[in-house]
Structure 1
Amino acid sequence: MKFIYLSFLLFVSALGFAQFPGAAQNTITGKITATVIDSASGKPVEYATVALAKSGQTKSSNGSLADGKGVFKIENVRPGRYRLSVSFIGYNTKVLDPVETTLSKPDLNLGEIRLSPSNKVLKEVTVTGQANIIENKIDKIVYNAEKDVAVAGGNSTDVLRKVPLLSVDYEGNLSLRGSSNVKVLINGKPSGTMAGNMADALKAIPADQIKSVEVITSPSAKYDAEGTSGIVNIITKKSNLEGISGSINAGVGTRQNSGNGNLNIKKGRLTLSGNAGGYYSWPQTSKLSFNKTSNDQSVVLKQSGESTTERLSSNGSVGADYDINNYNSISTSLKLNWFQFSVDGNNLNQNQFGNIYNEFNRKSDTKTRVIGYDWNNDYTHKFKKEGQEISFAFQFTRSNLDNDYRSDFLFPTGSSIQDSSELGNSDAINKEKTFQIDYVHPFKKVVWEIGAKTILRDISNDSEVEVFYPYNNSTVSNPDRNYLYNYNQNVYAAYSTFGFTLAKKYGVKAGARVESTVIDGNANNGSAKNNIDNSYHNITPSVVLSRSFKNFQTVKLSYNQRIQRPSLFYLNPFRDSSDPLNASEGNPKLSPEISDNFELNYSTFIKTTVINASVYYRRTSDIIESVVSNYTLDNGKTGSLTTYTNVGSNNSYGFNFFGSVNPIKPLTLRANLNVNSYDIQLNSQSAGASGANNDKTYLMYNAFASATYLLPQGFTVETFLITSSPRRSFQGKNPSFSMWNIGLKKELFDKKGSIGINVIDPFNDRKNFESEIKSADFTQRSNFSIPFRSVGVNFSWRFGSLKVSNKPKRGVSNDDLKQGENNGGAQGGGVMGN
């Protein structure tokens, strides 16, 4: 713990030094904003082109595009004198020279810029345009979901499928560049619901509530060191309009129904906001076939049947922000989450154990419920020196995960085995307290960031299994499967980063983060008590070097080390044996993953063309994967048990390409391709559980392509295609995935509303997803068939207008847990589309 105290002393000393009056001033960047207005009609000029050059010159070095309300914003503007030109078809170009920003006032609002109609009057001018859906920034890629026609009416998984670098399989499991080790944040903060099954938690967020998605592949040391492949930050909609404003969104479809509403009240320095929404998926029936055969053919397990899945979710939030004065501000928010899904199944089981053959029907009823809340509080103090600030944040999050099931085993008449029912329930609670302090100090050419953070995590689980025998109306408890599980994980961290620019072309940001993890707990199942005691310390460096060229070209080289701690989903020892031949449980003894990540990236913006390409290498040790093995049932027979373990290390080389182009003004084409390798080196324990050829290197890919066309009279049509290869594990492969979508939207009420229709896979009523697992003892194959074709109608309406107010994002961001992925099987029935 010594380095914790040393880090704290360093931090306090840094604050004292920061106040030293001789500190140098820093060259910072600001922004230029304005609204483009038609001088004759007084209406906004939509999608006007804005170019920024040095004063007295015409060669532009920066620029922007006005949005649908005529508002533009040029960011990353260094203090100086500039020439600003605004142009659009049918208008005379307006030139402002000089336009000046200074160190004391780096942000400049020019108010209204009026364009006069050209003397060369056109008989008819049809104006079409589109704000950027994809933004390529130096440290991240931003997907602006609110500007996309084809994401309304679904849930967040439908949005994430369209984000560059990401892929989402049929169950809703998220991966970044082929790795499922992704940390998901909501508005820059963790959510307690993500501590369980992340795939189901993502389905609880309506697509209409999402403003944008940020993908950060090379996080700096300021971020938690968690997420070996990177961070995905989902930004929800929140209006910054002065006065009263809000929105209503609703969708009805053959698969899913959704709705949400937002209300924002801003008066002076006080802002109040509220949101409520949810979704309901119609019951959908999936078909399952399963075959497991031992290598000596002595044991054969077969299943075939159907299961019906139903999902229901609701969420809401309230928040308040208050600017005390120009230097101090506070905010608080409370977010509530609730969702549940139920699965009712009926399977025929035909099993052979040597010369013994048995057959039975299994009827199951499984219910999973999650309820939780996240409470965030933030205080920020800005000093008189530009860019110097300190912030304090506190977050408390709690989530309750309840998993109950009942399985009825019905044997044929005349069987020597009596009918029985197994009843299981698990009540898990995840509580987290987070304290965080961050300080930023600008020097003459360097920006220094330093901070400290503490996460106190408390996980508990109480689970019980009973067997009911109808023939004598008796209930028997199984003490070996009754767990009392307590797990405490405390993380203490400190970081420091430095960022600076050399010769106006070279950018450097480097830093390091120190994290100490202290774990203690116990798992008591009645007959045995296992104590958990583990502590480890990590120093995770990060560095990003960038070089800018003319025509907005940038080359970036980065390195960072990341860790991945297992969350409750992976740790919970409760055995879910609603299907005893396919049971699953967590592993409380998992170690964290450690990865080293190298990336070379190239990006450019040429007129309407955006290109982002990168090559990368990632080495991950102690990688966590699911493992299927044999286990002995209470009746002495053999079944399959899925759990998680640290299987070894993985080397992954990859390539990613994203491009967007407008070959003609109304048409936008986008494409994304990611290819990466899977090359696992197993440890001795996992090597014995594998029957596959692990010396082989596999290539995996995911790709996305779309076309958007703007039609007259407010119509927009879009189509997109998603495809991905099977996802590999050391024991086999999981299903591939593909989806085709067509969307049409019509703007209403002077662009304050819209109505649209989405069609998913019109030629595929159902889709089959096949998996294969091989071990040293058996081969297991399964096919999961789910309804897929869907049609949905969506409606949205925005109300309120007035003055725009931009506020910085504040708050806690816990990025430190490996989050759950769906196991598949009877509970995997993912909801696709509407």
Structure 2
Amino acid sequence: MKRLLLLIAFISVVASSRAQMGGGAPTVTGKISGTLIDSLTRKPLDYASITLYRATGKVPLTGVVTDEKGGFKFNNLNPGSYKITVTYIGYPTKTITPVTTTPDKPDNNLGTLVLAPSASALKEIAVTGTAAMIENKVDKIVYNAEKDATVSGGNAGDVLRKVPMVAVDQDGNVSLRGSQNVRILINGRPSGAVAASTADAMKMFPADQIKSVEVITSPSAKYDAEGTGGIINIITKKKDISGVSGSISGGVGTRQNNGNANLNVNQNRLSLTGNFGTQVGWPQTSEISTGTKTTSGTVIAQQNGTSETQRHAYIGSGNLAYDFNASNSISSGIRYNTTQFSNDGSTVNTGNVGNFTQTNNQTVKFGGFDWNADFTHKFKKEGSELTFAGQWSHGINTTDLTASYTAKNPNQSTRNDGLNDEFTGQIDYVLPLNKTVKLEAGTKAISRKINSDYDIYRQLTGDVFKFDNVASNDYDYSQDVYSGYGVLSIQLKHMVGLQIGGRVENTQIDGNASSVSAGLQPFSNSYTNFVPSLAVSKSVGSNTFRLSYTKRIQRPSLQYLNPFRNTSNLQYHMMGNPGLSPEVSQSAELNYSTFIKSTIINATLYFRHTSDAIESFVTREDYTSTDASGASVIIPVNLTSFRNIGTSNSVGSSIFAQVNPVKPLTLRGNVNLFTYTPKASSSIQSAAVYDSKTYIQYNIFASGSYAFPKGFIAETFAIINAPRRTLQGKNPSFNMWVLSMNKEILKKKGKIGLNAIDPFNEDKIFASEINTGSVIQSSRFALPFRSFGVNFSWTFGKMNFNAQPKKKRGVNNDDLKQDGGQQGGQGTGTGSQR
């Protein structure tokens, strides 16, 4: 704690002293900037191509595209005379020359540039530019979901399936370049719902609330070190232009139904945003089969059954922001969510445990809120600012399960109440030392308090349910993380950028279980990690090369650590492992990106080494229990727990491309090919079958869309994912095919569409297999998947595009995702044992 206070004091002193400084060292480099608008509508033109030449040159020096406000900027230019060309679809090319900068006046702001539509476009009176759906930036890839008419009516999982390098399996689990250890943020901040269950959080998040998704595979040290696979940042919709606006959207289908509403108010210095969404799923019946056999093929036990699932969810959020003046601003927001689903089914059991039928009735409720507040002060020196931010995440989880047996076994009733509170405080400071060097530093503290109260009641033959004080458990878990970072960014000559950073994170963990009679003992652990990052980039015209190195950690969450043994399934038990160490990965990658008119290409080669890799691990053992009469019995079971299995290496390559062979047709494709090479520790080698060979994995996405006249768009896309390998076996593969059609209505303010998911496959079958060395466990389940639906959306309100844009607040959505945000670890589970 002393180190944290010293770091806070140091940053405050530096901020105070630097605030009095007039500027950095003299420099001869400058910038050229401006804003592009349409001559008729006076609206900003985003994604226009701006190219820079020498005044008499014919070879481009560099190029940029305008942002959503029509702004553009060329930095680090030597004094001289230049020429700028502006190109945009439907407009003639505009040339501006000469554009000069001098040592005395190195910055040249061209102000507002007006671009007039071509003659053919003038005939149509209104001109609408088409923004890029995929942005290829130096340190990230951005998928602009709001530009994709085909995602309306779905959920966040449907959106993420279309994001380059991201895969979402049949259960909603998210992976990035093959790794499920991904840090998922919402508006740059962690979410309690995501930490509790990523799959459930993505299912209940309406797609119509999502503006864009950022993928960061090599985060700098200013980001939390959590997430060995990288960071996915979901940006929700919010209008920065003045006025009152909103939207209503929804969808009705054979699998799920949803609705969403957004309202945005931006008046002078005040900004208010709110939204609400809901999702209701139709009942779905799945067929499940799980079996255990010897390595020679003899069947030991078999389960066959069906399960019906129903789900509904609500999510809402609100944000209020106010700029006191040009130097000080505040914002505060809250996001609320609640979800409930039920699973009712029966299973026929045969084999060495006898023949009987098990009936399960399960209801799960979870929800909570994330409240945040930030204050930003901007100093007189341009780009220098100090931000104070805080967040409170609160989550509640309740699971009720009743298991009834037709013979031999006592009926069982369980209730699991989980409570999670996470408090975060953060200070960030940005200081441009001069026009080419920028320093960023910060400190952060996260405190997590989690309680899981698990009560079990058993019913013997002819008796009532009685509390089982041996098997029940009240578990308390706390995790505190203290960190500090520093990042130095340098823009060198010839469009070369250098970024070097370091982060130190200290983690302190305590766990305490009340059921000492069951052999559960208190535990504590602490460790300190140094997390360096390095990136070098080089731009040549529209081409960018980037070489980076980063180190990441993955802390085990409560579901991995909680030593309580879940025995609700008689033959297949689950239990956490409090002795887990954090997983640590080191990655190096070489990235190339370019854009040529409407063509975008992003290619990456990468290598990732992971130590203390955490994986689920199955062992075969005898378990002492009681039968329906209360007599002691020994049952052979498969126990799934978690282990640090050793190390693993992955070499991979991913490539994303978007092309427009003809103007109305857009083709996109993403291929991620990588290896999985595990090397088990000595303890694991003695406990399981160990295969050190290299496995090839892949994720493939391909889509095509065609824009017909009068606002009609048709699209199809397909996803193919290989089975995910683990040390002991493989998990199911996942494939899907989608067709959709959308039509603009209500003077282009509304859209209505139809979609079909796997129209020729009513059910989808998923199979997995695990080899423990003594037995082979296999599972197969058939899930209703074919779906047809209709969706709609409508925007309303009058927005003033001629008003001066609001000054950027210190910790708004875009600042958070660029400047580090606030990420928590994954040790925030709510204690659910399902």
TM over 0.5: yes
Partner of 2:610: 620
- CA separation of 1:822 and 1:402: change in aligned 2, threshold 3 A: closer
Q: Deviations over 1:448-498 (max 9, x none)?
A: 0011111111111111111123x4232233223211111111111110010
The alignment of Structure 1 onto Structure 2 pairs a total of residues equal to 806
The alpha-carbon deviation at position 15 of structure 1 amounts to 2.5
1:793 matched to 2:795? The reply is: no
| CA deviation after TM superposition for structure 1 residue 54, in Å | 4.5
In the alignment, does 2:696 pair up with 1:699? Answer: yes
* Aligned match of 1:450: 441
Which residue of 753, 766, 769 maps to 2:766?
769
- 8 Å Cα contact 2:755/2:790 also seen in 1: yes
* 1:139-218 superposed matches below 5 A: 139-218=139-218
SS in 2 for 1:569: helix
Task: Tell whether the 8 Å contact from 2:222 to 2:485 is kept in structure 1 after alignment.
Answer: yes
Q: How does 1:501-520 map to 2 (within 5 A)?
A: 501-520=491-510
Match of 1:414 in 2: none
Q: What is the deviation of 1:11?
A: 2.6
CA shift in 2, pair 1:452/1:158, >3 Å: same
Query: In structure 1, what residue type is equivalent to 2:384?
Result: Q
How many Å separate the matches in 1 of 2:709 and 2:727? 53
Paired position in structure 2 for 1:531: 522
2:374 corresponds to which residue?
Answer: 378
Structure-2 change in CA distance of 1:539 and 1:45 (3 Å): closer
Contact 2:604 2:655 in 1 (8 A): yes
Gaps of 5+ in 2: 626-632
Aligned equivalent of 2:322: 322
Partner of 1:365: 361
* Aligned residue number for residue 549 of structure 1: 540
Equivalent residue, structure 2, for 1:400: 396
The 3 A distance-change label for structure 1 pair 584 and 821 is: farther
Q: Partner of 2:651 in structure 1?
A: 653
- The CA deviation at 1:48 is 8.7
User: Distance in 1 between the 2:110 and 2:420 partners?
Assistant: 46
Corresponding residue for residue 685 of structure 1: 683
Q: Call closer, same or farther: CA 1:381–1:129 in 2, change over 3 Å.
A: closer
Aligned equivalent of 2:34, options 32, 55, 68: 32
For 2:637, the equivalent position in structure 1 comes to 639
Which position in structure 2 is the counterpart of 1:814? Answer: 823
Alignment of 1:236-247 (within 5 A): 236-247=236-247
Q: CA–CA distance in 2 between the matches of 1:726 and 1:342?
A: 28
Q: What is the CA distance between 1:95 and its match in structure 2?
A: 3.8
Cα 1:408–1:327, aligned 2, differ >3 Å: closer, same or farther?
same
Distance 1:474 1:450, change over 3 A: same
Q: 1: CA distance between counterparts of 2:765 and 2:425? A: 47
SS in 2 for 1:727: coil
- Report matched runs for 1:5-404 at 5 Å: 7-19=7-19, 21=21, 23-24=23-24, 32-38=34-40, 49-54=48-53, 56-57=55-56, 60-61=60-61, 72-75=70-73, 77=75, 83-86=83-86, 92-97=92-97, 110-111=111-112, 113-115=114-116, 117-118=118-119, 130-295=130-295, 300-352=300-352, 358-404=354-400
Alignment CA distance shift 1:646-1:75 (3 Å): farther
Q: Judging changes above 3 Å, is the alpha-carbon distance between structure 1 residues 152 and 76 closer, same or farther for their aligned structure 2 residues?
A: farther
* Distance change in 2, residues 1:71/1:115 (3 Å): farther
Q: Which amino acid in the other structure matches residue 501 of structure 1?
A: Q
Q: Matches of 1:235 and 1:170 in 2, distance apart?
A: 24
Shift of 1:613: 0.9
What does the per-residue CA deviation read over 1:336-384, in whole Å, with 9 as the maximum and x for residues that have no partner? 111122111111111225xxxx211111011221111111000000011
Q: Distance in 1 between matches of 2:31 and 2:387?
A: 21
Amino acid in the other structure paired with 2:635: K
Instruction: Report if the CA contact (8 A) 1:181-1:819 is conserved.
Output: no
Q: What residue identity is the alignment partner of 2:231? A: I
Shift of 1:16: 4.4
User: Residues of 1 paired with 2:106 and 2:340: CA distance?
Assistant: 51
| Amino acid corresponding to residue 511 of structure 1 in structure 2 | G
Q: Distance in 2 between matches of 1:443 and 1:344?
A: 63
Over 3 Å counting, the alpha-carbon distance change for 1:818 and 1:707 in structure 2 is farther
Verify the 8 A CA contact 2:144 2:211 in the aligned structure 1. yes
> Judging changes above 3 Å, is the alpha-carbon distance between structure 1 residues 123 and 16 closer, same or farther for their aligned structure 2 residues?
closer
Alpha carbons 2:36, 2:112 under 8 Å: kept: yes
Deviation at 1:44, TM superposition (A): 6.5
CA drift of 1:150 comes to 1.9
Q: Are the structure 2 counterparts of residues 482 and 122 from structure 1 closer, same or farther at C-alpha, using a change threshold of 3 Å?
A: closer
How far off its partner does 1:61 sit? 4.8
CA distance in 2, matches of 1:340, 1:731: 33
> Could you give the per-residue CA deviations for residues 404-429 of structure 1, whole angstroms, max 9, x where no partner exists?
21111113xxxxx3x64211111111
Report if aligned partners of 2:37, 2:45 keep a CA contact under 8 Å in 1: no
- What is the aligned-residue identity percentage? 44
Q: CA offsets, 1:495-550, max 9 Å, x none?
A: 00100111132110001001111112312214145122111111110000111123
Question: How far apart in 1 are the matches of 2:782 and 2:830?
Answer: 19
Alpha carbons 1:566, 1:819 under 8 Å: kept: no
Q: Read off the aligned partner of 2:701 and give its amino acid letter.
A: F
* Number of the residue aligned with 1:830: none
The equivalent position to 1:467 in structure 2, one of 447, 458, 465, is: 458
1:426 aligns with 2:416: yes
Letter in 2 for 1:725: A
Q: Deviations over 1:205-254 (max 9, x none)?
A: 01111111100011111000111110000111112231211111110001
In the alignment, structure 1 segments of 5+ residues that lack a partner are 412-416, 828-834
Distance 2:473 2:723 in 1: 36
Return the alpha-carbon distance in structure 2 between the equivalents of residues 366 and 31 of structure 1.
Answer: 60
Distance in 2, Cα, partners of 1:153 & 1:289: 32
How many angstroms apart in 1 are the aligned matches of 2:136 and 2:89?
A: 27
Q: Assess if the C-alpha contact under 8 Å between 1:226 and 1:818 holds in 2.
A: no
User: How far 1:83 moved relative to its partner?
Assistant: 4.4
2:8 and 2:45 map into 1 onto residues whose CA distance is: 51
Q: Give the CA deviation at 1:129.
A: 6.6
Following TM superposition, by how much is the alpha carbon of 1:663 offset from its aligned partner in structure 2, in angstroms?
1.0
Contact 1:48–1:87 (Cα < 8 Å) also in 2: no
